[in-house]
A and B are shown apart, each in its own frame.
Chain A
Amino acid sequence: MKPYDAIVIGGGHNGLVCAAYLARAGRRVLVLERRERVGGAAFSEQVFPGFTFTVYSYVVSLLRPEIIRDLELPRHGLHVLPLESTLTPLANGDHLAQWSDHDQNRRALARHSPRDAEAYDEFGRTLHQMARAVKPLLGMVPPDPASLAPGDLAGLARLARHFRGMGRGVFHALHKLLTMSAADYLDEWFESEALKGTKSASGIIGTLLGPRSPGTAYVLLHHYMGELDGVFRAWGFAKGGNGSVSAAIAAAARALGAEIRTGTPVARVLVESGRATGVALESGEEIRAGRVVSSADPRRTFLELVGEAHLPGELVEAVRRFRFRGASAKVNLALDALPDFTCLPGPGAHLRGAISISPSVEYLERAYDQAKYGEFSRRPYMDIVIPSMIDPSMAPPGKHVASIFAQYAPYRLNGGWTDARREALGDAVIDTLAEYAPNLKSIILHRQVVTPADIERDVGLSEGSIFQGELSLQQLFSVRPAPGWSKYRTPVEGLYMCGAGTHPGGGVMGAPGRLAALTMLGARR
């Protein structure tokens, strides 16, 4: 049999995207996935009969449209349904709603602050301009600023031209966004606590940083990134949950000729005289291939699968320093009926969107204060979606599922995560949410609580870091995952990286997988 051109370690969505692109270019590709099913953190499962949970990630915003087109994902079952609104219930029984319709949104905001309603448009415009300025970087292999290689110098020159060409206003706004805290940045625009709380929440997702810490403003931008592609709404829910994103990519990869083996953990990358020649499975089996590409995170890839012995000391140091610090948990619920929110009783359009427990920046900051010292937040930030309202096939008729993303639940919990602590976290989440939706406890049929320790164990994400490493400024672009190794290559010849731990980072986006494949195929972009 013809040997494999490439082995992809890990069948998360990035590994699958990478495999699909390689197969599309005629390469013979084998994907090896540790778990019984593909998807990694983009994974759906019927945990309780009839109820499908989108177990980890739950919304789609950044999935690159070129990937959807190139791999013909809709043909393989992908359908992203729009999320219409964000509801922020408040303790006093009031609420803040953000809607996709401009007039409706403006009116909803003006109820809290007419100034904010006006500022909202200008804020949106500023972020739009910045997103436009930043977007080319997402589709670019980052140059190495310390290198004198002609390619890197040309890349740097291109980058310099790009920044200088974006105009003063945008450049300075971008500088602020990259260096400020979400709280300070939003303070410059808005006065309503609920709006600032809800907007700043996007800055802390996946990070063990509070909204008042510089570096958290940047992630605000990601919300505006999707809109640039002419996508009608940035945030959506994939029919069938995020597992169906992975399933569609896997189907596309297979159709293009890639081979996918699940239940096949890789123990080690075979390195011979500085070159990757294949992998050894935990079963002991060895499989050879011209190239190996790992979608596992940098720590797993370098420190476990490759081993320090094959790596320069500086890279080992950099990987050790790479911040994971998972801080996010999931609570998935099977519900007998819809939750009834005090602020907007009964069913309604607001249940088809996101529901955000983020009444103020201070609420989030206090949630973070506890996590800083190794406790989970007693009153966490939550982002809730009721998938069955968007895609009724997620639950039996008349029943519902809820996906609750909660922060902060630090990986390094004082005393460590135990079954009891997991349930205590679940209780804290339910208790807090029940303050806003009092019928909640009486409608819960089943609940699944996922802590960072569970994420690490089940998905393999180190420390449960949802983005395979924090998306903080010092871990982005040219320094992701390590200085000098931002271009999907590694010091081991023939070994590549393609997971969320590489540029442009985490989220169900597919970009790292695609860029890695293009790099391997020698395509210059």
Chain B
Amino acid sequence: MLRTTPFHARTAALCASHAWRRWAGYVVASSYELSHDREYHAIRSAAALLDVSPLCKYLVAGRDAARLLDRMVPRDVSRAGIGQVLYTPWCDAAGKVLDDGTIARLDETVFRVTAAEPGLRWLEANAAGLDVSIEDTSDATAALALQGPSARDILERACGADLAGLRYFRLTAARIAGHPVTISRTGYTGDLGYEIWLDAADALPVWDALVAAGTPYGITPAGMLALDVARIEAGLMLLDVDYVSARKALIESQTSSPYELDLGWTVDLGKETFVGRDALAAEAARGPAWRFVGIAVDWDSFERLFAEAGLAPRVPLAAWRTSVPLYGDGGQVGYATSGVWSPLLKQYIALAHVEARPAAPGPAREREGTREHRRRRAAAHVVKKPFFDPERKRA
């Protein structure tokens, strides 16, 4: 049996579709309703409540906690203020990304680390010689994401606090239904949104309180399918889908550096040392071999393809997660790893790795797809990520 999250009693009752999916050994709803459509639109128009408990979470505490994380990740953790959250990848010695996640500074010497994959062993390996304690709080900590334009109003009602001052990638302590929670202004949708971290034992009352507070605002439980659409629009990559962890890669060409994942901004070569620094410094000097970009399919070309076969264009309403070749002049120049029809932008978008050579946004590409059993190519071009970036996200 797969494990269920602390919210399962609520999510199971809501899951009319019976569409579940695995996430890190847990079952979570793919969609609650028969189609994920409304759940997606809730993210962009009202507020969606997502159970993100399967994330791996670690509490790193002690005199050297900041040193440990600074040693491990390419970003400068020492500069993070209390209450700040950093998004960062972390690498092996070859400068290839092992995982990505967030580091929240809860206190001078206390951090919460989230990761897509279990990372206790790696944290401990990095802790050699340091005075820190590392606690795996994945099971003990439940997590919800409340995302969408109404998220702030709902949350303020639920916790009775003013969140206007809580800036993007900052966190604060609060209480919901009398239970202590941590609220961070973070998320995986690229919208105004919060993530709420709480003791697993308090899961149900907190859920109930949020739903009660949110009902007047149209709060909608949302599953992974809706999230997948939103995160692609937000240009956010996903481990195992858009890149392979260096820990799992069987050959070097499967690995990616932060530069190759468009995360160069997280690499602080000014830091004297961190795992992978030498390799990354060399790569920075040389320039990365790959870029991670947004791709938009040209609608006219796409429509024409289908018209030739006597069909109307068919777009993927749920995100796909396969490798799709991209062509430039003279052959394949890259591959897209996830893509979807953006219901909001009315655009067929994808995240893609392209060889660094002709990577400046603009030049035309061709993207391969299946039309009526046959592989065909449609024109596509590189566009700026995120595809959708509303003001309210940071405001």
Closest to A102 in B: B25
A118 touches B121 (CB 8 A): yes
Given A114-B118, A114-B136; A121-B248 close (CB under 8 Å): yes
CA distance in complex: A132, B25 (Å): 28
| Complex contact B22–A115 (CB within 8 A) | no
Q: Given A118-B119, A118-B121 in contact, is the A107-B247 Cβ separation under 8 Å?
A: no
How would residues 99 to 143 of chain B score, 1 for a CB under 8 Å from any chain A CB and 0 otherwise? 000000000000000000011111010000000000010000000
Contact A103 B121 (CB under 8 A): no
Could you tell me the distance between the alpha carbons of A88 and B201 in the complex, rounded to whole angstroms? 32
A125→B250 contact, CB < 8 A: yes
The verdict on A315 contacting chain B, using a C-beta distance below 8 Å, is no
0/1 interface trace, chain A 102-135, chain B, CB 8 Å (1 if under): 0110110000001101110110010011001000
A106 to chain B, nearest CB (A): 6
Contact B120 A118 (CB under 8 A): yes
A128-B22 in contact (CB<8A): no
User: Is B3 close to A, CB under 8 A?
Assistant: yes
Shortest beta-carbon distance, A124 to chain B, in Å?
10
Within 8 A of A (CB), among B156-213: none
Q: Which of A103, A104, A117, A125 contacts B248 (CB 8 A)?
A: A125
Complex: A128 Cα to B247 Cα, angstroms: 13
A114 touching B248 by the CB < 8 A rule? no
Q: Is B2 a contact of A103 with CB atoms below 8 Å?
A: yes
Q: How many residues of chain A have a CB within 8 Å of chain B?
A: 15
In the complex, the number of residue pairs spanning A and B with C-beta atoms less than 8 Å apart equals 31
Instruction: Please state if A107 and B3 are interface contacts (CB–CB under 8 Å).
Output: yes
Distance, CA A164 to CA B379, complexed state (A): 43
B1 to chain A: closest residue by CB: A104
Most chain B C-beta atoms within 10 Å of own C-beta, residue among A118, A121, A125, A129? A118
Cα A125 to Cα B248 in complex, Å, equals 7
- Determine how close the nearest CB of chain B comes to the CB of A381; give it in whole angstroms: 29
- A residues in contact with B122, CB < 8 Å: 118
> How many interface residues does chain B have, given as a range?
10 to 19
B136 surroundings in chain A (CB, below 8 A): 114
The reply to whether A119 and B250 form a contact with Cβ atoms under 8 Å apart is: no
A114 contacts which of B22, B24, B120, B250 (Cβ < 8 Å)?
Answer: B120
Asked if B121 contacts A119 (CB within 8 A), the reply is yes
Minimum distance in angstroms from B99 CB to a CB of chain A:
11
Using Cβ atoms and an 8 Å threshold, which residues of chain B touch A132? 250
Give Cα distance in the complex from A125 to B25, angstroms: 19
Q: A129 and B250: CB pair below 8 A?
A: yes
Which residues does chain B contribute within 8 Å of A115, judged by CB atoms? Answer: 120-121, 124
Instruction: With both chains docked as a complex, state the minimum distance between the C-beta of B21 and any C-beta of chain A, in angstroms.
Output: 12
Q: Which residue of A lies closest to B27 (CB)?
A: A103
Of A106, A121, A128, the contact of B25 (CB 8 Å cutoff): A106
Inter-chain contact A122/B118, CB cutoff 8 Å = no
- Chain B positions within 8 Å of A107 at CB level: 3, 25
For A103, list chain B residues within 8 Å (CB): 2, 22, 24-25
Query: Which chain B residue lies CB-closest to A110?
Result: B118
B239 to chain A, nearest CB (A): 13
What residues on A are CB-neighbors of B24 within 8 Å?
103
Q: Taking the nearest CB of chain A, how far is it from the CB of B125, in angstroms? A: 10
Cβ contacts A459-497/B at 8 Å (1 or 0 each) = 000000000000000000000000000000000000000
Contacts of B250 in A (CB 8 A): 125, 128-129, 132
Q: Which residues of A contact B3 (CB under 8 A)?
A: 107
Q: Given the known A-B contacts A103-B2, A103-B22, A106-B25, are A121 and B120 also in contact in the complex, defined by CB atoms under 8 Å?
A: no
- B247-A122 in contact (CB<8A): yes
In the docked arrangement, what's the CA distance between A106 and B117, Å? 12
Q: Which residues of B contact A104 (CB under 8 A)?
A: 2
From 6 to 38 in chain B, residues with beta carbon under 8 angstroms from any chain A beta carbon are: 22, 24-25
Note all chain B residues with C-beta closer than 8 A to A129: 250
Task: Provide the bound-state CA to CA distance between A121 and B117, in Å.
Answer: 11
Minimum CB–CB distance from A171 to chain B (whole Å) comes to: 15
The complex places the Cα of A104 from the Cα of B250 at a distance, in Å, of 23
Q: Which residue of A lies closest to B25 (CB)?
A: A103
Interface residue ranges of B46-82 to A (CB < 8 Å): none
Given contacts A103-B2, A106-B25, A114-B136, 16 further A-B contacts (CB under 8 A): A103-B24, A106-B118, A107-B25, A114-B120, A115-B120, A115-B121, A115-B124, A118-B120, A119-B121, A121-B247, A121-B248, A122-B247, A125-B248, A128-B250, A129-B250, A132-B250
Per CB-CB distance, the 9 closest pairs between chain A and chain B, nearest first, are A103-B25, A118-B121, A118-B118, A115-B121, A114-B120, A107-B25, A114-B136, A119-B121, A106-B25
Supply 23 A–B pairs (Cβ within 8 Å), ascending by A. A103-B22, A103-B24, A103-B25, A106-B25, A107-B3, A114-B118, A114-B136, A115-B120, A115-B121, A115-B124, A117-B118, A118-B118, A118-B120, A118-B121, A118-B122, A119-B121, A121-B247, A121-B248, A122-B247, A125-B248, A125-B250, A129-B250, A132-B250
Q: Interface residues, chain A, CB within 8 Å of chain B?
A: 103-104, 106-107, 114-115, 117-119, 121-122, 125, 128-129, 132
